[in-house]
Amino acid sequence: MFFVSDNASPVAPEVLDALARANEGYAMPYGADALMAEVRAKIREVFEAPEAAVYLVATGTGANALSLGFMCPPWATVFCHRHAHISEDECAAGEFYTGGAKLTLIDGPGAKITPAALAQAIAEATNPDVHHVRLGMLSLTNLTERGAAYTPAEVAELTALAKAAGMPSHMDGARFANALVATGATPAEMTWKAGIDVLSFGGTKNGLMGAEAVVLFDPAKAIEFELRRMRGGHLFSKHRYLSAQMAAYLKDGLWLKLAAQANASGQRLAKGLAAIPGVEVQAAPAANLMFVRMPRSAHARARAAGAAYYLMSSDDVTAGPADTPILCRLVTSWSTTDAEVEHFLALIRG
């Protein structure tokens, strides 16, 4: 019963097999391996973007920070949600890689930015005076850090506002596959067709050992990205091990199958919890990530039985009134089993 995060799940067997095969013999370094050519061609096919530039890095923070770094100058600002990963969980990596660009934080339910909120933020930041930052770019997270999913139409409405203000748009897709499965959208519909210029295409949270792709839908600045990746220490010499993971991930739609499994477990868990008296699932989760208030006694039973998940406060689940509601975050993964979900639900029911 491990619901801490989907990035703590095992590596998918297909990916491990691919790594073993890639370990045979020799391969050209620094992304010149044959597998990377396959990955580039497959991502272009999947995204219906034959001119896209495709690069691999090992971490989601690296993918996001590099994407911001080559798109936003240090004297500008990045518009993002207050609970975006680039805001709360990346130790100012985006600010570092941009050379000091500011983050303008925007509120919105489910960690989604609304058009009205973005329009207001852009208006408030628009000032030609040299003492103020310039308009830099928009960054959206899909799935959001609160488990909601943007639809292509919602993405398009936001990127249109950014484009009207002269700004490009980035999507943090650490859980991009989960968002696609949740919405039924195609990769192209969720990205460049909706106005996204660069995508951090996640894999680590969905069955990979550690590989993320950065997809530039306009390759005009590809060389700048390559230089920043090198200068930032994110260009792997033994690149074939990143390529092997991503190639296996994309083969026969494995990435979507794994996300579908994670989402199905998440929906089963959320539905089961919502049916238990005294338990509140905050906003119906779109996929595999949810926030839930449960009585202290339920937490105590679950923790005593070995369930692992994050509490969203410093409350002691072993001492205090049994009926005190305590908020937690639960995340399912491709490897979460029905038995784990049912065992957890039984513990919460008491």
221-247 per-position pLDDT tens digit: 999 999 999 999 999 999 999 999 999
Residue 215 φ then ψ, to 5°: -110, 115
Q: Which domains does the chain show, CATH number per domain?
A: 11-254 (3.40.640.10), 258-349 (3.90.1150.10)
Instruction: Output the average pLDDT for the chain.
Output: 97
Give the separation between CA 22 and CA 16, rounded to whole angstroms. 10
Max Cα–Cα distance, the chain, nearest Å: 62
Of the candidate ranges 102-106, 244-248, 294-298, 319-323, the one whose mean pLDDT is the lowest: 319-323
Give the separation between CA 233 and CA 73, rounded to whole angstroms. 20
- Angle 205-286-246 (CA atoms, 0-180°, nearest 5)? 25
Give the separation between CA 139 and CA 146, rounded to whole angstroms. 16
Residue 258 φ then ψ, to 5°: -65, -40
pLDDT in tens, 9-61: 999 999 999 999 999 999 999 999 999 999 999 999 999 999 999 999 999 99
Instruction: Indicate if the pLDDT at residue 318 is higher than 90.
Output: no
Do 103 and 86 meet the contact criterion of CB atoms below 8 Å apart?
Answer: yes
Percent of the chain beyond pLDDT 70? 100
Question: For residue 123, what pLDDT band results from cuts at 50, 70 and 90?
Answer: very high
pLDDT of residue 197: 98
Alpha helix (H) ranges present in 23-151? 34-46, 60-71, 85-88, 93-98, 115-125
CA of residue 222 relative to chain centroid, distance: 22
pLDDT in tens, 66-79: 999 999 999 999 99
Give the separation between CA 19 and CA 37, rounded to whole angstroms. 16
Q: Which of 108, 60, 99 is nearest to 80 (CA)?
A: 108
Say which residue the tokens 């925007």 belong to. Answer: 106
Mapping DSSP to helix (H, G, I), strand (E, B) and coil, where does residue 139 land?
Answer: strand
Mapping DSSP to helix (H, G, I), strand (E, B) and coil, where does residue 198 land?
Answer: strand
Give the separation between CA 12 and CA 57, rounded to whole angstroms. 19
Contacts of 88-92 spanning 24+ positions with Cβ under 8 A: 88/145, 89/61, 89/145, 90/61, 90/64, 90/65
Q: Could you give the count of Cα atoms lying within 13 Å of 245 in the half-sphere of its Cβ? A: 22
Instruction: Quote the tokens at residue 293.
Output: 């208030």
Strands 212-216 and 53-57, sheet pairing: antiparallel
pLDDT of residue 42: 98
Strands 280-282 and 289-295, sheet pairing: antiparallel
Say which residue the tokens 């477990």 belong to. Answer: 265
CA 203, 205, 209, 211 dihedral sign is: positive
